[in-house]
Amino acid sequence: MSQDPKIKPYKKPAGGWGALRSSFGAILKEKGGLNTIKALFRMNQPNGFDCPGCAWPDPENHSHFAEYCENGVKAAAAETTGKSVTEEFFKKYSVAELALQTDYWLESQGRLSCPMIIKNGETHYTPISWENAFTEIATQLKSLTSPDQALFYTSGRTSNEAAFLYQLFGRMFGTNNFPDCSNLCHESSGVALNESIGIGKGTVSLHDFELADAIFVIGQNPGTNHPRMLIELQKAKRRGAKVISINPLYEKGLLEFTHPKEILPMVTLGKTNISSSYFQIKIGGDLAAIKAIIKILLERDEQANDSLLDHKFIEDHTQNFESFKKDIESENIERLCAISGLSLEQINDLTTIYQNANKVIVCWAMGITQTRHAVGTIQSIVNLLLLRGNIGREGAGVCPVRGHSNVQGDRTVGITEKPSEKFLKNLGEVFQFTPPLHHGHDAVDSINAMAKGECKVFIGLGGNFAKASPHTSLTEKALEQCNLTVHISTKLNRSHIKHGKTGIILPCLGRSEIDQQKTGSQIITVEDSMSMVHASIGKNKPNSSHLKSEVAIIAGIAQLTLDSNPNVDWQAMTDDYALIRNKISQVIDGFDGYNEKIKQSGGFLLRNSATHREWKNKTGKANFVVYEVEDHTPPKGQLILMTIRSHDQYNTTIYGMDDRYRGVFNTRKVIFLNQADITQLGFQDGEFVDIISCYKNEEQRKVVGFRIVSYDIPIGCAATYFPEANELVSTNITAKKSNTPLSKYIPIQLISTIKEA
Ligand SMILES: Nc1nc2c(c(=O)[nH]1)N[C@H]1C(S)=C(S)[C@@H](COP(=O)(O)OP(=O)(O)OC[C@H]3O[C@@H](n4cnc5c(=O)[nH]c(N)nc54)[C@H](O)[C@@H]3O)O[C@H]1N2
Ligand SMILES: Nc1nc2c(c(=O)[nH]1)N[C@H]1C(S)=C(S)[C@@H](COP(=O)(O)OP(=O)(O)OC[C@H]3O[C@@H](n4cnc5c(=O)[nH]c(N)nc54)[C@H](O)[C@@H]3O)O[C@H]1N2
Ligand SMILES: [Mo]
């Protein structure tokens, strides 16, 4: 097969045979053989493990085989790979040599299999015993002049048990420095929802998807990133509900879908056109669009003698309606339409769809959260829903669709740089210590603090901070300046290469593997995007006998770092994770009977106050938040760039070089542009360009050699893949109120790539 880059539109629906073929390809490539197959039989099954892919929930009756998607298969195949990165591997390749390899190559070498260390001046990682690795980390932590010189990063695959112990360790050590992948992801959702409805989580369940009359999918590409969501959308569509997509790109999965399990009866069921209406919005245009819909709706309500809005709900349950209304009245509809990129007719249509549906769910993901006005956009979505009482009743509500499979759970059990006073008080009482009260660094602040030399130790519980973060060269330099970087990981990645003066790699068990401790094999728990907490049990033999669980690693470091405390028995908690869960239930509301409840198939639901129309924010009412719309049209010659995921990647883990649904094969270095912009800027389809960031008041940064692909994208907008373009993302200009990097909102210029002779 030719490995030449190829651009060829994909004509088939999402899912279907294409998904099956690609799944089998992934299994073969990873050479995991029987292990992978066994894992697939157990994934998302009642006694099996939770798919390490996305946070989309499992359906209630999920006892039938294959409760996962193509990309879940890829995630499982990657974890159960037959390949290992051994001591010999590190002997063979110096770090300098590894640095020359692509991220795709690094990850595809297989599972990390033994603890490794590298010290200042050395060229190669060498093996180290677990004991010595823990001692080295403890020594360096204890030598810091302040606990706030250490950073404890978490990626959202970590279990509740490991995350809880990790934050306990960090806080007993004395810091709230818990930067988290959430900071790069759904932070804007948490911040916005907390202020609006008093809880930073979604309010709907799968049951609500069965009842909704209209489901809006805004700034999300579920065909690639949450494929099992398409099954719910398909069901909704088949029973007559409306599915409305708002996205700058016509994403395949939102257009047409065939459930892979329905391939045989395809003749009868066939593909489903998922979206009933599709609105091609400009990048960052959502706030203006939502406000425009609200403006029209308010006008129509007045004309209809107050019969369109739920005035009783507004009166009883909300506050700030009058000033919100005044703000909307002061907006100019033409201006709003121009900023959104939608016509007045389209806004009218959207308003009609919204007002005609009795029960509405709005879903969103990174297309909203990683833009400059993300928080205001989400709060405007909430405003829109509040107008017709669409929060806190069946079939309606907000649905921020989370990314990592346990990113929501990690937050629930205390991974946050801004813990509440109540949480700290409970934690301190249960473990008899005084937690630090001052807030810590989030992800962006951590980069800047390391770069300035203020933080000197970086510990990563999973993830790939070097590549997932903005401004790649700054982040890499920041990590390299540290005295110590430690990564608790399953696979080799760039963060291991960009190590501190001392660098340590600690290889850990994956979710599919048996976690054997003194009291027997352990279960872990996770929380999905709809607040269901459930057990995950690994049954595969670990890839290497040297691996330790995340819990055992954290406890091992903590025991050597902290003074002994009779109230914290790290060893006992490692021996039996049920003891950790007991502690979680003492510290955090909603976990009573934790160990019992996770025995139920499907687990248990964490109560969501907003679902019951209890508003736990400062005002005790749901809040109409006023947020100003700024015109963000770039100056002539500039475009706004979004960095998105291809179909063949899991964040920084690249599974393959294709983006099938968008018709891109054997390459990732492409930039999607509207043909009118290509012509206007004097380029041609297929030509190679360098992309330059042009934030005001910031130095320009460049990534080179991207092939132009003429694509159906709004004029003035551009798209390329994450993480190749992360160098362009700023650590200074971030989303207002949430400090999330603007991965979907980068002002850029293009210049022709000069081929070096
Ligand atoms: N297979 C797979 N699954 C994954 C992941 C993965 O990498 N691979 N990652 C996981 C994680 S951590 C996350 S957070 C989620 C991410 O899931 P998504 O948020 O779906 O991921 P992105 O690729 O970032 O896609 C963002 C979508 O938003 C659109 N968009 C961009 N800017 C705008 C805008 O201004 N307005 C609107 N309306 N739309 C916009 C883009 O066109 C794109 O369709 O997926 C999770 N699941
Ligand atoms: N430009 C741009 N940047 C972005 C985004 C974007 O859309 N555009 N998206 C952002 C988002 S939404 C997110 S969530 C972040 C993701 O940021 P991260 O969560 O930091 O990155 P991942 O790529 O998911 O991490 C992959 C690594 O995790 C490790 N790993 C995998 N499974 C396990 C496990 O079970 N245990 C442990 N300990 N380690 C494991 C492996 O070593 C693997 O190399 O990236 C963000 N960065
Ligand atoms: Mo994410």
- Say what the pLDDT of residue 55 is: 84
- Say what the pLDDT of residue 50 is: 83
**Residue 446 CB–ligand 2 contact under 6 Å:** no
Query: What is the whole-number distance in angstroms between the Cα of residue 661 and the centre of ligand 3?
Result: 21
Best mutation site among 467, 744, 745 for ligand 1 pocket (most ligand atoms within 8 Å of CB): 744
Confidence label for 755 from pLDDT (cuts 50, 70 and 90): low
- Say what the pLDDT of residue 580 is: 98
Q: What would the pLDDT profile of 402-417 be if each residue is shown by its tens digit?
A: 999 999 999 999 999 9
Confidence label for 312 from pLDDT (cuts 50, 70 and 90): very high
Do 271 and 236 form a contact (C-beta atoms < 8 A)?
no
**Residue 229 CB–ligand 1 contact under 6 Å:** no
Dist CA 66 CA 22 (whole Å): 15
Confidence label for 58 from pLDDT (cuts 50, 70 and 90): confident
Q: Report whether pLDDT(263) > 60.
A: no
Q: Whose CA is nearest to atom 19 of ligand 1?
A: 366
What is the secondary structure of 431-450 as a DSSP string? HTS----S----HHHHHHHH
Query: What is the whole-number distance in angstroms between the Cα of residue 554 and the centre of ligand 3?
Result: 23
Q: Whose CA is nearest to atom 24 of ligand 1?
A: 644
Give the ligand with the smallest distance to the CA of 248. Answer: 1
Query: What is the whole-number distance in angstroms between the Cα of residue 325 and the centre of ligand 3?
Result: 34
Residue 12 or residue 734, greater confidence = 734
Q: What is the mean pLDDT of the chain?
A: 94
Q: Report whether pLDDT(259) > 90.
A: no
In sequence order, what are the residues at sequence separation of 6 or more whose Cβ sits closer than 8 angstroms to the Cβ of residue 445? Answer: 179, 417, 739
Grouping H, G, I as helix, E, B as strand and the rest as coil, residue 747 is strand
Q: Whose CA is nearest to atom 45 of ligand 2?
A: 468
**Residue 644 CB–ligand 1 contact under 6 Å:** yes
Q: What would the pLDDT profile of 476-492 be if each residue is shown by its tens digit?
A: 999 999 999 999 999 99
- Say what the pLDDT of residue 262 is: 64
Least confident of 55-69, 180-194, 249-263: 55-69
Indicate the burial class of 631 (C-beta count within 10 angstroms; 0-12, 13-18, 19 or more).
exposed
Q: Whose CA is nearest to atom 1 of ligand 1?
A: 225
| C-alpha angle 283-630-468 in degrees, rounded to nearest 5 | 45
Q: CA torsion angle for 8, 9, 10, 11 (degrees, to 10)?
A: -120
Query: What is the whole-number distance in angstroms between the Cα of residue 644 and the centre of ligand 1?
Result: 6
What is the secondary structure of 330-354 as a DSSP string? HS-HHHHHHHHT--HHHHHHHHHHH
Dist CA 384 CA 369 (whole Å): 17
Query: What is the whole-number distance in angstroms between the Cα of residue 100 and the centre of ligand 3?
Result: 27
Dist CA 87 CA 80 (whole Å): 19
750, β-bridge pairs: 691
Strands 670-673 and 702-710: parallel
Query: What is the whole-number distance in angstroms between the Cα of residue 651 and the centre of ligand 2?
Result: 5
**Residue 672 CB–ligand 1 contact under 6 Å:** no
Q: What is the mean pLDDT of residues 724-753?
A: 97
In this structure, the number of other CB atoms found within 10 A of the CB of residue 266 comes to 14
Give the ligand with the smallest distance to the CA of 475. Answer: 2
The 8-class DSSP code of residue 160 comes to H
CA separation (Å) from 444 to 163, 400, 468, 732, 741?
A: 20, 22, 11, 8, 7
Q: Whose CA is nearest to atom 14 of ligand 1?
A: 403
Q: What would the pLDDT profile of 335-394 be if each residue is shown by its tens digit?
A: 999 999 999 999 999 999 999 999 999 999 999 999 999 999 999 999 999 999 999 999
**Residue 508 CB–ligand 2 contact under 6 Å:** yes
Residue 335 or residue 267, greater confidence = 335
C-alpha 166 chain-centroid distance: 20
Atom of ligand 1 nearest to the CA of 644: 23
Query: What is the whole-number distance in angstroms between the Cα of residue 159 and the centre of ligand 2?
Result: 15
Do 313 and 745 form a contact (C-beta atoms < 8 A)?
no
In this structure, the number of other CB atoms found within 10 A of the CB of residue 150 comes to 25
Q: Report whether pLDDT(268) > 50.
A: no
- Say what the pLDDT of residue 261 is: 67
Domains and CATH numbers, the chain: 109-184+408-606 (3.40.50.740), 187-400 (3.40.228.10), 639-756 (2.40.40.20)
Least confident of 49-53, 445-449, 522-526, 622-626: 49-53
- Give the HSE-up count for residue 619: Cα atoms under 13 Å, Cβ half-sphere: 14
Give the ligand with the smallest distance to the CA of 55. Answer: 1
**Residue 443 CB–ligand 2 contact under 6 Å:** no
**Residue 237 CB–ligand 2 contact under 6 Å:** no
**Residue 108 CB–ligand 2 contact under 6 Å:** no
**Residue 366 CB–ligand 1 contact under 6 Å:** yes
Grouping H, G, I as helix, E, B as strand and the rest as coil, residue 104 is helix
Query: What is the whole-number distance in angstroms between the Cα of residue 357 and the centre of ligand 3?
Result: 30
Best mutation site among 73, 181, 186, 220 for ligand 1 pocket (most ligand atoms within 8 Å of CB): 220
**Residue 652 CB–ligand 2 contact under 6 Å:** yes
**Residue 109 CB–ligand 2 contact under 6 Å:** no
**Residue 284 CB–ligand 1 contact under 6 Å:** yes
Dist CA 744 CA 640 (whole Å): 8
Q: Which of 745, 743, 669, 682 is nearest to 709 (CA)?
A: 669
Grouping H, G, I as helix, E, B as strand and the rest as coil, residue 543 is coil
Atom of ligand 1 nearest to the CA of 365: 19
Residue 618 or residue 715, greater confidence = 715
Indicate the burial class of 326 (C-beta count within 10 angstroms; 0-12, 13-18, 19 or more).
exposed
Q: Whose CA is nearest to atom 11 of ligand 1?
A: 403
C-alpha 201 chain-centroid distance: 14
The 8-class DSSP code of residue 728 comes to G
**Residue 653 CB–ligand 2 contact under 6 Å:** yes
Do 503 and 120 form a contact (C-beta atoms < 8 A)?
no
**Residue 216 CB–ligand 1 contact under 6 Å:** no
Confidence label for 126 from pLDDT (cuts 50, 70 and 90): very high
Confidence label for 52 from pLDDT (cuts 50, 70 and 90): confident
Dist CA 94 CA 116 (whole Å): 13
- Say what the pLDDT of residue 266 is: 41
- Say what the pLDDT of residue 267 is: 42
Dist CA 161 CA 581 (whole Å): 7
Confidence label for 270 from pLDDT (cuts 50, 70 and 90): low
Least confident of 14-28, 59-73, 588-602, 659-673: 59-73
Q: Please give all residues whose CB falls under 5 A of ion ligand 3, grouped by chain where several chains appear.
A: 185, 403
Q: Whose CA is nearest to atom 23 of ligand 2?
A: 652
Residue 499 or residue 68, greater confidence = 499
Give the ligand with the smallest distance to the CA of 718. Answer: 1
- Say what the pLDDT of residue 576 is: 98
In this structure, the number of other CB atoms found within 10 A of the CB of residue 142 comes to 12
Q: Whose CA is nearest to atom 4 of ligand 2?
A: 468
Q: Report whether pLDDT(65) > 70.
A: no
Confidence label for 13 from pLDDT (cuts 50, 70 and 90): confident
Q: Report whether pLDDT(193) > 90.
A: yes
Atom of ligand 2 nearest to the CA of 460: 38
- Say what the pLDDT of residue 269 is: 53
Structure pTM?
0.96
Grouping H, G, I as helix, E, B as strand and the rest as coil, residue 317 is helix
